[in-house]
Structure 1
Amino acid sequence: MFGRAPKKSDNTKYYEILGVPKTASPDDLKKAYKKAAIKNHPDKGGDPEKFKELAHAYEVLSDPEKREIYDQYGEDALKEGMGGGGGMHDPFDIFSSFFGGGPFGGGGSSRGRRQRRGEDVVHPLKASLEDLYGGTIKKLSLSRNVLCSKCNGKGSKSGASMKCSGCQGTGMKVTIRQLGPGMIQQMQHACNECKGSGETINDRDRCPLCKGEKVVQEKKVLEVHVEKGMQNSQKITFPGEADEAPDTVTGDIVFILQQKEHPKFKRKGDDLFVEHTLSLTEALCGFQFILSHLDGRQLLIKSQPGEVVKPG
């Protein structure tokens, strides 16, 4: 985003929400957030809006780069740089990072364990008119990411990971560039040190199979059943067969049928049309010819006795 250096807006609100001074250390912020978040957690009858505000304030102030922007330019500058305040994490995810998924021991809140959904993978699938008329089975070989079986998707031999120091565990970085007098550019991007995951793994502790990537590639053959009468652009879905990732609900693989052009027939809905050229004699005196159907049947097409066939 390009623009003039923003007027200084409120830069004390987040400190007030957490109840700490502007000189608070990272440890002070952690303690203040923990105490207030437990008190205001919706599962304990707390105010959901207050709980959301606490998480938002802590996420900004715990990130050195975001805190610097906030201290220098205020809340409005942060919102401009993040597209209206976007890019913030789910408040329940931030809470669960402190308490291991359950706010008060054991299973904890279902909201605290919410997982994001992986993206669906969409593939076009070309099918002839014969395939769509009679039905067919197409076998397709695909590669996808699956959770590493050796480390159960942890990426490390011990199962441990560390908060990324480059982004303080948020997975995102904010960069400010001075373009000229009174002109700044703010950009938010995924942290290059942890690839947006918010955590890093010690080199010695990396899983030898996935090299710390948490996933490995797997080849799989899918049988796609094209049913009789399926339409162009119709979807065939394989639930949960897309790329796997840690703490993510696996998306679907979706095939979209693309009907290939046929040299003889045109399809309109459930009807087939065919064009046939007649001579003048055939049009006036009658005609007959053999038409091969899509399933191989031979159909005799002929005019009625005495019928005169007009063009079209």
Structure 2
Amino acid sequence: MGDTHLYNVLGVSRNASNSELKKAYHRLAKEYHPDKNPESAEKFKEIRNAYDILSNPEKKEIYDNFGMQGLADGFSPGGPGGFPFGDVLGGMFGMRGGFMGSRHRRQRGDDTTHHLRVTLEDFYNGKTAKLQLSRTVLCKTCGGAGGRGNVLPCRMCHGHGIKKTMRQLGPGMMQEIQTTCPECRGEGETYSDKDKCGPCMGRKVVNDDKILEVHVDKGMRDGQKILFRGEGDQLPDVDPGDVIIILTQIEHKKFVRNGEDLYYKHTLGLAEALCGFTMVLKHLDKRQLLIKSEPGQVFRPGARKVIKEEGMPVYRNTFERGDLIIEFDIKFPPPHFIGEPEIKELQKLLPEPPAISIPMDDESVEEVTLTEVSNSRRNNRRSEAYDEDHDHFNHRGSAGAHMQCAHQ
């Protein structure tokens, strides 16, 4: 029986699932968090460390086989059969890959990447999505052999696995091109037609569809990766690669995320900005937040107010949250909306404008009229000015031409 201390810290068994580990961690972290229980800071660190190790497949495999000492020595997990002897020696003696290095290590297949579109609500509340994965797996009928009977050298590549073709580039110039043999797929050997496996037709692999359950935890971010180890394409004598899911956030219509904080824009009427308002904000978990301004509080365009701990949950620490920041815009009434009687009433309520002295007997004083700016008028003025300069240039150019002819 290996080291079970980390399992005891979380109060779970060695065969606990990821879901059980997560539930145990959230329960204990909430109980022993220093904000609620200042004397339990060390206990909280121990709980977080235990979860960080057991929730990581690689670290958990090392811990289950070698305990905490294996993690300290930097051991690396092996294939399905556990830890290769060479890797163990490499961890013990500081040699990368053991005595012989990686010369005898099995080749590893390519990783497969998929993008999963996720809404901001999913990042806030958490979600489990099902993703259908198409891949190749070893044929179960022939066990990945491709057939039975005598193995023959490939007739197309004569057992080399490479097909060579010549291409003429020009007179007396030839180029040799080497490609993987399509008949044996680079293996150099094949079976006769009667000895080939029926289901895979000698290819050793068949197509297979698998459903992956992708758990989007609360607080995850745009661009974050979720790893499924060994779920890539299977090939003979090759360790399958990983499937990497990249989370891609769909733009939200009302909320903008910045780290753990959420930003929300709200427009007030002029009366609301001056006299107070009441609004209801529908949050990402469908809660209705009732928001009221304080009496006498005046809101200016661009004003920002914060609601503490109503932002995004913190990843792997979901009882902590960022803030919700609301930015206010003010919608002013259209021109000439207020009549003369209303203006007089408003002037009684609002602060008086600063007094200025107008020396009307001064000849330098001239009264002007304010009008709306017209973009088309400005553009026309610029175009007219350009045409005048252009005509003036043409006129000067013509005069210069006459002078040049006269000079000649």
State the number of aligned residues.
Answer: 203
> What does residue 264 of structure 2 align with?
274
What TM-score, normalized by structure 1, do the two folds share? 0.61
Q: CA deviation at 1:202?
A: 1.2
Which residue, out of 211, 214, 218, partners 2:208? 218
> What does residue 34 of structure 1 align with?
none
Matched residue of 1:130: which SS? helix
Pair 1:129-2:145 in alignment: no
Matched to 1:175, the amino acid is T
> What does residue 161 of structure 1 align with?
151
> What does residue 22 of structure 1 align with?
none
Q: CA deviation at 1:112?
A: 5.9
> What does residue 176 of structure 1 align with?
166
Matched to 1:122, the amino acid is T
Paired residues for 1:1-312 under 5 Å: 113-158=104-149, 160-312=150-302
Q: For residues 256 and 125 of structure 1, what CA distance do their matches in structure 2 show?
A: 6
Q: For residues 153 and 236 of structure 2, what CA distance do their matches in structure 1 show?
A: 16
Q: Could you give the per-residue CA deviations for residues 151-187 of structure 1, whole angstroms, max 9, x where no partner exists?
A: 11000123x5233243343322332323323423332
Q: Could you give the per-residue CA deviations for residues 38-59 of structure 1, whole angstroms, max 9, x where no partner exists?
A: xxxxxxxxxxxxxxxxxxxxxx
Matched to 2:114, the amino acid is H
Q: Name the larger-Rg structure.
A: 2
Q: CA deviation at 1:209?
A: 2.2
Q: For residues 161 and 211 of structure 1, what CA distance do their matches in structure 2 show?
A: 14
Structure 2: which 5+ runs fail to align?
Answer: 1-99, 303-408
Q: Could you give the per-residue CA deviations for residues 54-97 of structure 1, whole angstroms, max 9, x where no partner exists?
A: xxxxxxxxxxxxxxxxxxxxxxxxxxxxxxxxxxxxxxxxxxxx
Q: For residues 229 and 298 of structure 1, what CA distance do their matches in structure 2 show?
A: 21
Q: Could you give the per-residue CA deviations for residues 103-147 of structure 1, whole angstroms, max 9, x where no partner exists?
A: xxxxxx785643221111111111111111010111222222111
The alpha-carbon distance between structure 1 residues 110 and 162, as it changes in their structure 2 partners (threshold 3 A), is farther
- Identity percentage over the alignment? 54
Matched residue of 2:123: which SS? helix
- Computed over aligned residues only, the root mean square deviation of the Cα atoms, in angstroms, reads 1.9
Q: For residues 185 and 265 of structure 2, what CA distance do their matches in structure 1 show?
A: 58
Which protein has greater RCO, CA pairs closer than 8 Å, 6+ apart? 1
